[in-house]
Each structure stands twice: as structure tokens, then as C-alpha cells.
Amino acid sequence: MGLSALEVIHCATQTGAEIMGRGDEFGTVAAGKLADLLVVDGDVVADISLLEDRRKFLAVMQAGVIKSGQLAPAC
């Protein structure tokens, strides 16, 4: 489609939230917004295919809490 990796990520996050009318709740990393994040080992802007390899996922954060991955607290 001619989009860079960064443009794809932007469309999937910020633009997606704005289209849903919820840009004030999520879509970017900012104070007061819901924090659902995927922490990846590597630079997805340089190599977006990292998102295809679950072994590269370091942590999954949902609502500001690390739910799984190498950064999750031991239970």
C-alpha cells in the first residue's frame, strides 16, 4: 500500500481510536489514557515483521498492568 511501518502502526492505533470516536481514551501513550501496550524486543519501525514473532514479545500490558511476559511480576 506504500505505507511505512510507522504509518501502519499509527493507523492501527491513533487513527483507529479517532475513527471510533475514542481518541481521548486510547490510541496514544499519554497520561490519563488506557495503557494497553505490547513491549517488543527490537525496533518495529526498522523491522515490522517482529510483530509476527511471539518470541520477541517481552510483555503485554493491559489497563496499565503488566499481564504477561518477561516483565510480569512472579505470582
Question: pLDDT tens digit string along 55-75?
Answer: 999 999 888 888 888 776 666
The C-alpha cell at 22 is: 475514542
Q: 36 by DSSP, 3-state: which?
A: coil
Which spans in 1-75 are helix H? 5-10, 16-19
| CA 33/CA 54 separation, integer angstroms | 26
CA 55 distance to own-chain centroid: 16
Encode pLDDT of 20-57 as tens digits: 999 999 999 888 888 788 999 999 999 989 999 999 99
Answer left, alpha or beta for residue 60, where phi above 0 means left and psi between -120 and 50 means alpha: beta
